[in-house]
Amino acid sequence: MLNKNKSIALWLFVVSALIVFMVIFGGWVRLTRSGLSIVEWNVVTGILPPIGTEAWTDAFHKYQQTPEYIRVNAGMELDEFRFIYYMEYTHRLLGRITGLAFVVPLFLFITRGAIPIPRLPAFAAVGLLFALQGLLGWLMVQSGLVDQPHVDHLRLSLHLSTALLLLCCCLWLAFGYTFGQPDPEQPRVSSRIRRLSIALLIAVGLQIFAGGLVAGLRAGLISNTFPMMFGQLVPDGLWRLHPWLLNHLDNPATVHFQHRWFAFVVLILATVLMLRARLEILPSYLRPAATSALHLTLIQVLIGIGVIAMHVPTWMASLHQAIGIAILSVSLLVCHRAFRA
């Protein structure tokens, strides 16, 4: 078990905040159709944007060869290209800054002996996740530079999910250094609370992954009515793809339908967890975290309905994503207190 260390906890919370900001900004990049503006992945030279007219002209010329320019943005001016380029450039720069914010202090803590050797594999795993996230981001972008003017929706969901897995790892470590060794005088957590906390965390993770599919397929735009879709509670065409399992990943109607209704599964789990938490004597932070998870989920459901009804406005879609990340973080806190308190 970990001892308390405010410095390490603060560092990990800062890295977590940067990851959250990077994810939300990445969603904004996608909503503004800026993600395919940079057609190369230059780990070192990509730190700087194009400098000078010739460099900008060259970058614009490369973009003009992509399917997105040919089919969507034909006739775009250089100034318009600069805007989407800087959006994607900022997103990539945030990734580099976040990675450095993790790696540099890590070496300092190691050299000072603040992180014992047995804990190093956990931090090494986080570092590898940072590298994997960068690779997945480029593979995602690359999928939109070949035939279609958009990225592959499965790669988008995987990129999003890996970023949130990275967030969960950093937060879990941060919680450990915040709370430290469990207090033997604190009440024990029942197995029922533990099972519910795991179920809620898994359900939230699945819902966010499905949200990535909705975004990648632009499935949120196919219906702006609730609870009906196309005038039906259970619309036709949900199982038109064969084999039928593909519908859950590739059929926009099915992906939209399951995302809107699985939200209520998450809501039910959060409600049951909160009610159960009120019946038990629990360690600190667990009951308020469970209550917060329920409140955030209820707000998220209402905003999700608003996103559908208003035909996916950019600001509301970003808010929807941010609250989803908040629910994931609070659910993780519930799990941490249930198993480590």
Domain range annotation of the chain: 1-181, 184-341
Q: Enter the pTM of the model.
A: 0.93
Mean pLDDT in the chain? 93
How sure is the predictor about 158, in pLDDT bands with cuts at 50, 70 and 90?
A: very high
Distance CA 290, CA 44 (A): 44
211 by DSSP, 3-state: which?
Answer: helix
Is the model's pLDDT at 182 over the cut of 80?
A: no
Per DSSP, the three-state class of 115 is: coil
Nearest to 140 by CA among 78, 215, 242: 215
The single residue listed with the structure tokens 């945030």 is 94
What's the whole-number mean pLDDT along residues 316-335?
96
Q: What is the pLDDT of residue 239?
A: 93
- Look at residue 1 and tell me whether its pLDDT is greater than 60: no
Q: Tell me, letter by letter, the H, E, C secondary structure of 65-77.
A: CCHHHHHCCCCCC
Residue 62: which pLDDT band, with cuts at 50, 70 and 90? very high
The Cα 105–Cα 120 span in angstroms is: 13
Least confident of 70-74, 252-256, 280-284, 334-338: 280-284
CA distance 274 to 292: 9
Return the minimum-mean-pLDDT range out of 93-97, 146-150, 158-162, 215-219.
146-150
Write out pLDDT tens, residues 93-105: 999 999 999 999 9
CB atoms within 10 A of CB 45: 7
Terminal C-alpha separation, the chain: 11
Cα separation, 232 vs 84, whole angstroms: 39
Residue carrying structure tokens 């035939």: 147
Least confident of 161-170, 179-188, 280-289, 301-310: 179-188
- Position 248 pLDDT exceeds 60: yes
